[in-house]
Chain A
C-alpha cells in the first residue's frame, strides 16, 4: 500500500459518483449512494488486508503512522454510516443528491489527509478542504431558509477561524523558519530559548483557536447550535463526528508532535477550557426542544470531555480520547439516523416527534435509547467506559496539580446535568402524554442494518473494551509527552 492509496481511492470514488450521475436516470440517482457506500466499505476492508506503508513522504509533509491509520479507518466508518443516513434523507434533498454523496466523499478526503498531516501547510489545506465542502453540505437544502442560514453562519465563522489559523502559522514560520512538525520539534529540543519566544507562542495560540473552532470548544462554540439545527441531518451528523475528529487529530498532532515542550506548560489553559466547555454545553442543552440543536449543545459538552484527555497530558489520556471518539461515533450517528427517519415527512424536529416511538417502531426506540444512555455515560455502554478512561487519565495527573481534582469534580457535575436532558429524550419516547400519531414507521433494511451495527458497536465498546483499548494505546505511541512529574525529576537530577 502506498502512503496515500486510501485517499486516492476515495477521490476516485467521489469522481466516479459525479460521473455516474451523468448516466443515471433521475429516478435512480438516489441509489448512487449505495455505490458510494459500497466503494467505501471496500476501501475500508482494503486498509486491513493490505500491509500498511508506514513512513513519511512529500518532503516530510505527510506521515503515515499508527495514529493516522487509526483515524483514517475511523473517518471511513463515519462516512459509510453518514452516506446511509443521506440515503434515508434523500427525499428531502430536491436536486443534486449525487453531488451530496460526492461532497461527503471529498470532505472525507480532507479528513483523511488531516489525519496524516505533519506540516502546517497540509493542516491548512486539509482543514479548508473539509470546511469548504461543509459550506455546501450545510446549505444543501437551499430552498429552506434555515439550511441557508446555517451554511452562511458556518461560512463566516469558519473563514474567521481559518484566518486566525493562517496568521498563527505565519508567526510559527517566522520564528522557527519552518512549517514542518518534526523540524519544529527538533528545534525546540536543541534551542530551549526559542520555545519561550512570545511571537512563537502567539502563533501556537492562534493555531489552537483555528482548531478549537472545528472541535467546538468554548469560546469558539457559538456556531455549533445554529449550524447543527439548520443543516440537513446527514451533514450535521458528519459535522458532529467527522469534522470534530479531524480537529482532534490535528490538535493532537500539533500539540504533541510539533510542540510537546510548549503543551507541557499549557495544562492550566487546557484544564480551564475543558471545564468551561463541559459546563457551557451541558447547561445550555437543558432548555432545548429541537433535537438537532440539543445534540449541538451535547456536541459542545462532548468536546469538553475530549479536552480532558488533552489536559491530562499523558498517553493514557490520548488513548482515552481515541476510545471516547469511537463510542461517540456510534452513539451520535445512531441518534442522527433515527432523527432523519422519524422526521421524514414532517416539518418539525421537536422532541415531540418522538412521542410513542416505542409503539411506532421498537427498533428505532431501542437504538435511540441506547444512544442517549451511551452519551449520558451510564454503564455498560461505550460512553461510560470512555468517560471512565478520560477521568482515570486526569486522576493519574492529580498528584502534579490539584486543579486536576477540580476538573474531575466539574466533569462529574456536567455528567449529572446531562442526565436530565438525555433522559428527557427517553421520556419523550416512552412516556409522552399524547402520542398524536401511532402509525408504524417503515425502516428500510439498510437503515436497519446500520442501526444494529451502531447498537452493537456501543455494546461491544462498553462490554469488551480490552481489544479496543489496546488498539488505541498502540495508535497514540507516536505522540510525545513528558509528564510534568518526570520533567521535574529530570530537572532535579540535572540542576
Chain B
C-alpha cells in the first residue's frame, strides 16, 4: 500500500474542480450554481494546502486564509442578490433571467 502523496491530493482537488465546473454549466438553479462555485474555490484551497504541506512552505496556507475570507464576503453579497431577485421575480432559475436580449 503506497503512502498518501501529493498527487493523491491533487487528483482529489482536480476532481472537485471539475465537479464544480460541471455543476455551474449543467445546473440551472442559481443557488446550486453558487454552491458549485464554492466547490471550485475549495478545490483550489485543497491544492494550495497540499502544495504548501509538501513544499514545506507556509505561503500557500496564508493564501487559503485570504481565499476563505474573500469567499465569505462574496457569498454574503451573492446570496443577498439572489434573495433580492427572488423577491422581485419569485424565481431562482437562470432560464428566467432573460429580460435582456439583442
Contact = CB atoms under 8 A, between A and B. Distances in A.
A174 to B, nearest CB: 4
By secondary structure, the B interface counts as helix
A125 interface: yes
B59 A153 contact: no
B63 A229 contact: no
Given A230-B100, A288-B102, A135 B63 contact: no
Given A132-B74, A163-B37, A288-B102, A145 B51 contact: no
Interface residues of B, number: 42
Interface string A130-171: 011001100100110110111111011001101110110111
A160 B100 contact: no
B81 A135 contact: yes
By secondary structure, the A interface counts as helix
A482 interface: no
A159 B88 CA distance: 23
A142 B84 contact: yes
A288 B21 CA distance: 31
A119 to B, nearest CB: 9
Given A148-B88, A156-B24, A287 B102 contact: yes
B44 interface: yes
A170 B51 contact: yes
B57 A177 contact: yes
A152 B85 contact: yes
Interface in B56-102: 57, 59-60, 62-63, 66-67, 70, 73-74, 77-78, 81-82, 84-85, 88-89, 97, 99-100, 102
Nearest to A153: B97
Instruction: Choose among B44, B55, B82, B89 the residue with the greatest number of A CB atoms under 10 Å from its CB.
Output: B44
Given A160-B40, A167-B47, A226-B100, A125 B70 contact: yes
B51 to A, nearest CB: 4
A178 interface: yes
Interface residues of A, number: 44
Contacts of A121: 59, 62-63, 66
Nearest to A121: B63
B30 A152 contact: yes
B25 to A, nearest CB: 9
Contact of A173 (B10, B59, B88): B59
Contacts of B81: 135, 139, 148, 151-152, 155
A179 interface: yes
B74 A163 contact: no
Contacts of A229: 100
Contacts of A177: 55, 57
Contact of A167 (B24, B33, B40, B89): B40
29 contacts: A124-B67, A124-B70, A132-B74, A135-B78, A139-B84, A142-B84, A143-B88, A145-B99, A148-B84, A149-B97, A152-B30, A163-B17, A163-B43, A163-B44, A164-B40, A166-B44, A166-B45, A166-B67, A167-B44, A169-B48, A169-B63, A170-B47, A170-B60, A173-B59, A174-B47, A177-B57, A288-B102, A293-B100, A293-B102
Given A128-B70, A142-B88, 9 more contacts: A121-B62, A139-B81, A139-B84, A153-B97, A155-B78, A163-B37, A166-B44, A173-B63, A293-B100
